[in-house]
Amino acid sequence: MSTEGYLMSIDHKDLSGLLETAVVAARAAGQRAMEDINYAKAYAKTPSEIVTDCDLRCQQLIIDTIKQNFSDHGFIGEEGNAGKIFKQAPRGDSDIWWVIDPIDGTNNFARKILNFAVSIAAVQNGRPILGVIFEPSTESMFTVVKDGSPRFNDRSIQVSDGDLEIFETIGIESIFTQGVPAWIPAFMTKLRCRSLGTTAMHLAYVAKGSFVGTICNKPKLWDIAAGTILVESAGGIVSDWQGNAVWPVDMNEYQGRTFETLAANKNVHKKLVDILNAK
């Protein structure tokens, strides 16, 4: 069977099977993380990132769960050897990649702060076709498939129509190692700023309408893959800080580069781009 034929075969039934597997994997990993949170051992992965032994166990649990049903699919995960990414290309005619962050919010998790999430996406032809974000401490499950309705605990969700005003909320990063950018004070005088310590949940809350937008400083593919399809399916806009498209991404070439990512409702996206690029 040709790759083109395989691409054409992904229909709603196929996506439902992928989603069911992703939900099972996310719940299993989330449960394992909650069981291990008081015992996890953390260590430095890079000068600016930490990892725990639980990250590795949860990632393997997700991969093993998916492989039971889709053994020919590819994988990109945050946790590889010696601080590198985990990458395993699809086999045969498959061109589906699973993009996995087993614990998004490892700094929180390592300090027993319950703001963390499991993030799983399936990517085909360089674009997400499925996204699952699960926050185990609150049993919050966000799901979506391509051309489907995004859902939070099985209820349909959509982005808000809020503006940049004092009672609205935006997600921002909590650390800027190169110095605090000038746009941070601009936002802090306009609306409520929140940093949850998990990019996936920032994006999920944009999709749910809780945040009008979120500005992600240097996320990697596994931080944003599930969340961006949630936001776009919920009626929002995802771009880089200049307003350009983030997708498609060459999965074969990807080795861990970062993406300056902006996700917002349609009322504020252009305003946020203008603020981010103001001289």
What is the pairing mode between strands 127-135 and 42-46? unpaired
Q: Read off the pTM.
A: 0.94
Q: For residue 48, what pLDDT is reported?
A: 79
Q: For residue 186, what pLDDT is reported?
A: 87
Res. 5: pLDDT tops 70: no
Q: Range with the lowest mean pLDDT among 127-131, 170-174, 175-179?
A: 175-179
Q: For residue 182, what pLDDT is reported?
A: 87
> Is 274 in contact with 239 (CB distance < 8 Å)?
no
Mean pLDDT of 90-99: 94
- Cis amide leading into 136 (omega within 30): no
Q: What class, spelled out in words, does domain 3-154 have in CATH?
A: alpha beta
Residue 216 vs residues 20, 96, 127, 239: alpha-carbon distances, Å: 28, 25, 19, 11
Residue type, 31: Q
What is the pairing mode between strands 127-135 and 140-145? antiparallel
Backbone angles phi, psi at 35, to 5 degrees: -70, -30
Q: Which of helix, strand or coil describes residue 76? A: strand
Domain range list for the chain:
3-154, 169-276
Displacement of CA 19 from its chain's centroid (Å): 15
Residue type, 64: D
pLDDT in tens, 120-148: 999 999 999 999 999 999 999 999 999 99
Mean pLDDT of 149-166: 97
Report the alpha-carbon distance of residue 208 to residue 134 in Å, rounded: 13
Q: What class, spelled out in words, does domain 169-276 have in CATH?
A: alpha beta
By CB neighbour count within 10 A (0-12 exposed, 13-18 middle, 19+ buried), where does 264 fall? buried
Nearest-10 Cα torsion for 243, 247, 253, 257 = 40
Q: To the nearest whole number, what is the mean pLDDT of the chain? A: 93
Report the alpha-carbon distance of residue 143 to residue 123 in Å, rounded: 14
Report the alpha-carbon distance of residue 68 to residue 57 in Å, rounded: 17
Q: For residue 13, what pLDDT is reported?
A: 74
Tokens coding 195: 């940093």
Q: For residue 114, what pLDDT is reported?
A: 97
